[in-house]
Amino acid sequence: MRIRLEENKGIPASLLWMLAIISGVAVANLYYNQPLLNRMGEDLHVSEFTANLIPMVTQIGYALGLLFIIPLGDLYKRRNIIVINFSLLACSMLAVAVAPDIRCILAASLVTGVCSVMPQIFIPMVSQFSLPQNKARNVGMLVSGLLAGILGSRVISGIVGEYWGWRTMYYIAALMMLVCIFVVLRILPDMPSNFRGTYRGLMKSLLDLFRSQPTIRMVSARSGLCFGSFLALWACLAFKLSGPPFYAGNNVIGMLGLCGVAGALTASFVGASVRRLGVRPLNFIGCGLMIAAWAVMYIFQDTYTGFIAGIILIDIGMQCVQISNQTCALSMAPQASSRVNTIFMTTYFVGGAAGTFLAGTCWHAFGWAGVAGAGVCLTACSLLITCLARH
């Protein structure tokens, strides 16, 4: 029997855990390619720069999905939206698995990005129906699920790609999405819509919300810049570690994703600390940790120790920035939670796509020094916004 959510009752812990797990499985589709880029490039006979377009196109697709699909969560039944998108995801994963050339993979990756946005329907839903004192904590729990999916995707795809080939990973991903469809139909509760009207009116209200809320614009921009810095690392890590002095396989590159468990474990703690420490201090802490991470990974770029320490620091820093800013954005207009999250996450992944492209360009031109420089510059821009903000 499905649960009916009411805003004054909160969200049952069992449902919260299930949504966190599904979110992790869904978001994993965005990141399976990262440890496999060198292998995919070799198999398709394309350059490193061209292979790097795969994660960039995926991030662009995600931004498009956030902008045009997530607002529908305020207008239509969310269960139907999720089932349709998960079905398309299963098809796109299968398309990547059988793709004969890079053009087919780029097209399927765009669809994958567009349809992987469903966890961003869960987050505003959880924010809207959580009790005020539990809002940040519950959002942090979903973010922990997302991070676990990101970590698991890199580790699993690295191992599967090394021993069974990169295409096998996408066959497995297609099957997992079919399982998710079954689970969503079984457990997703009934929810009232937040908007009455047409899709055109919904998108107009989204634009009005963007214009009238400078705080939402500000927290979204600084989060997006930091996410660009974060993805700059993962966009080029496979290229760096597959060369001298490491000559690492996909399994080793994927296993480094486990270092990011620090970020997943930190997410709930950061969510619970937003009310106590405040959004602005957490942004200073997060940006400081990310800049320190890039410094460590540049200075000790020929050692695994340097990358392990850097990944831990950059993951914790990213959670400080994302969760504090996302909680702040969602609190600005609780009854338009899906639309607020659309603004925040669209900006977030536009920043991620820009960071991926910038890192790939800098890697091609300047090597690891260029990637580290790009990461520091993006984080510094986010830090500058925080310094200049009056509130």
Residues contacting 364, CB < 8 A, separation 6+: 48, 49
CA separation for the pair 28, 152 (Å, rounded): 7
Using CB atoms within 10 A of its CB, is residue 295 exposed (0-12), middle (13-18) or buried (19+)? middle
Whether residue 10 is predicted with pLDDT greater than 70 in this model: the reply is no
Quote the distance between the C-alpha of residue 232 and its chain's center.
13
Most confident of the ranges 199-213, 252-266, 309-323 = 309-323
Tens digit of pLDDT for each residue in 302-359?
A: 999 999 999 999 989 998 998 889 888 888 877 777 788 888 988 888 898 899 889 9
Is residue 253 within 8 A of residue 238, CB to CB? The reply is: yes
- Which pLDDT score is estimated for 191? 65
Whether residue 144 is predicted with pLDDT greater than 90 in this model: the reply is no
Q: Kindly indicate the confidence band of residue 103, based on its pLDDT and cuts at 50, 70 and 90.
A: very high
What integer best gives the mean pLDDT of the chain? Answer: 85
pLDDT (mean) for 35-61: 86
Whether the model clears a pTM of 0.95, i.e. scores above it, the answer is no
pLDDT (mean) for 209-213: 89
- Which pLDDT score is estimated for 150? 79
The interaxial angle of helices 337-366 and 214-242, nearest 10 deg, is: 40
Residue 19: which of 191, 177, 180, 151 has the closest Cα? Answer: 180
CA separation for the pair 169, 131 (Å, rounded): 39
- Which pLDDT score is estimated for 117? 87
Residue 128: which of 362, 333, 342, 371 has the closest Cα? Answer: 333
Q: Kindly indicate the confidence band of residue 383, based on its pLDDT and cuts at 50, 70 and 90.
A: very high
CA separation for the pair 254, 161 (Å, rounded): 9
The residue ranges of every structural domain in the chain are 13-188+197-388
- Which pLDDT score is estimated for 313? 93
CATH topology of domain 13-188+197-388: Growth Hormone; Chain: A; (1.20.1250)
pLDDT (mean) for 63-84: 81
- Which pLDDT score is estimated for 6? 54
CA separation for the pair 128, 8 (Å, rounded): 10
